[in-house]
Amino acid sequence: MTKRSWWRVAFALAIVLFVVAGVLHLSLRGPRVSVVAPVRGTVTETVVSSGRVLAPAEINLGALVASSVREVHVREGDAVRVGQLLVQLDDTEALAAVQQAEAALAQAQAGRFELERLSEPAARSDLGQAEANLEEAKRDLQRSKTL
């Protein structure tokens, strides 16, 4: 072989090696994928479920006096605060009792002077009883107003 034919063989061999290297490089590289840069943001997590909610406490209410309910200011399940008016009771009977006690007191005071002459101890007892009845009626009225 001549020097020129060696160069041709070497050149052909170099081209074959270059083609083989290119094919190997492309086959070993793997598939092309697209890449996205990360972006900072908020993640919202939502859970959908069914169930039953229970209150931490259940309280039964009652009044200290017997009366009809005039107005209800809350519904079942409403959140309430300390001191909030829940129910307004009818106070007409309590007011009538106060008026009756006041009338009895006035009558007792009117007859007091006459009774003092006849029997002072009995008059004081009646007056004391009338005042006690008045105070009790006023307490009942106050209780119905606070409930």
pLDDT in tens, 7-53: 888 889 999 999 999 888 877 877 778 888 989 999 889 989 898 87
Residue reference for tokens 């290119």: 22
Question: Which tens digit of pLDDT belongs to each residue from 47-91?
Answer: 898 988 787 877 787 778 788 888 999 988 888 888 888 888 888
pLDDT > 90: percent of the chain: 11
What would you report as the CA-atom Rg of the chain, rounded to the nearest whole angstrom?
51
Total of domains in the chain: 2
The two three-digit tokens of residue 132, written as one number:
């006690």
Does residue 82 fall inside a structural domain? yes
3-state class of 71 per DSSP? Answer: strand
Has residue 7 been placed in a domain? yes
57 vs 75: CA distance, rounded Å: 16
Q: How confident is the model at residue 1 (pLDDT cuts 50, 70, 90)?
A: low
pLDDT band at 115 (very low <50, low <70, confident <90, very high): low
Structural domain containing residue 12:
1-28
Locate the DSSP E strands across 17-143.
69-72, 87-89
pLDDT, averaged across the chain: 84
pTM: 0.37
- Burial environment of residue 94 by CB neighbours within 10 A (0 to 12, 13 to 18, 19 or more): buried
Q: Is residue 45 part of a domain?
A: no
Q: Are residues 24 and 76 in the same domain?
A: no
Give the pLDDT of residue 119: 67
- Is 92 within a domain? yes
